[in-house]
Amino acid sequence: MAETGSGVIALASVLLCYGSTELVEGYGFIAVAVLGLTLRRVEEDYHFHRRLHDFSELIEHALTAVLLVALGTVLPTLFADLTWTHALIALLLITVIRPLSGWISLIKSIRPV
């Protein structure tokens, strides 16, 4: 992979590892994690790691853009079914219940000064 310098090859190797592991009824996620750790250890000194990181960041930005566009197309449909009850429950969850549950979970960690 370091000789080709292509991030697509790295992505293809991840997909191939995951797919082949799932075909033999193994855990694809664990196999891909082991593949990543192995490649990091084997090709530790190559400049390819920086290029691969840049490629994965580029893919992440592209997928984020696709996700935001998809969310934007679904929002009008979701807002059509929104009622005042739903909005009130959402507001209560965000402003009261969420902070209160966080505060309760941290009670034991608060030390007097």
Using a cut of 0.85, tell me whether the model's pTM lies above it. no
Per-residue pLDDT at 20: 94
Q: At what angle do helices 7-23 and 48-80 cross, to 10 degrees?
A: 70
Residue 53's nearest CA partner among 66, 67, 40, 34 is 40
Q: Taking the CB of residue 13, how many other CB atoms lie within 10 A of it?
A: 15
Q: At what angle do helices 28-42 and 7-23 cross, to 10 degrees?
A: 140
Tell me how far apart the alpha carbons of residues 2 and 47 are, in angstroms, rounded to a whole number. 8
pLDDT along the chain (113 residues), means of 10: 61 87 92 83 65 76 93 89 92 95 86 65
